[in-house]
Amino acid sequence: YPNSDRKGEESTQFVSNIDLAPTILEACGFDPAPEMEGVDLGKNSKGHDKIFVEQGPYDVMVRDSRYKLIHSDQKDRVSMFFDLEKDPLEMVDLYDDQEYAEKIAEFEQAIHDWRGVDVFKNHVDENAPIISQPNVPERGDGHREMMQEYFAEGMKKKE
């Protein structure tokens, strides 16, 4: 915002996509709806202590300035935890390291508090029937599994 009284200001605070709509509305002179989540980044916002990202109803990531938890409720997926200060490339999974058990429990509780009870109501059923057309990829094309194997191998090589 070149005409803003905060032009040229930089911040290292965490922000999330949910902050964009309230910020744009405020910049246009409108008040965000009270039930709208997120903060106006144009004000002296402190951002967020933690940020969250979901992938479907089973997988969620939470991170703060130092730690990152990738939590999965799927039977065939594993949860992972990283110390981003010591391991910025996320090569050493600390999820089973007892030294971090308390921090992992804190992050898992943060996920529970953030999501609430009914996490399934807002997600697409990934097992629903797929339209059979030439431009629609097959569900079991192996892409996800291939990428998981690729990154798992990369992590083993670095240990």
Q: Is the pTM of this model over 0.75?
A: no
8 Å CB contact between 67 and 81: yes
Q: Rounded distance, CA 107 to CA 124, Å?
A: 25
The amino acid present at 98, given as its one-letter code, is Q
Q: Note whether residue 129 is domain-resident.
A: no
pLDDT of residue 97: 95
Say if residue 96 is in the same domain as residue 146.
yes
Segments of the chain scoring below 50 in pLDDT: none
Could you tell me if 39 and 71 lie in one domain?
A: no
Contact 32, 25 (CB under 8 A): yes
Looking at the domain assignment, is residue 130 inside a domain?
no
AA letter at 15: V
Same domain for 79 and 18: no
Does 69 lie in the same domain as 15?
no
pLDDT, one tens digit per residue, over 4-48 is 777 777 777 888 888 888 888 988 889 888 888 888 887 767 778
Biggest distance spanned by C-alpha atoms of the chain: 54
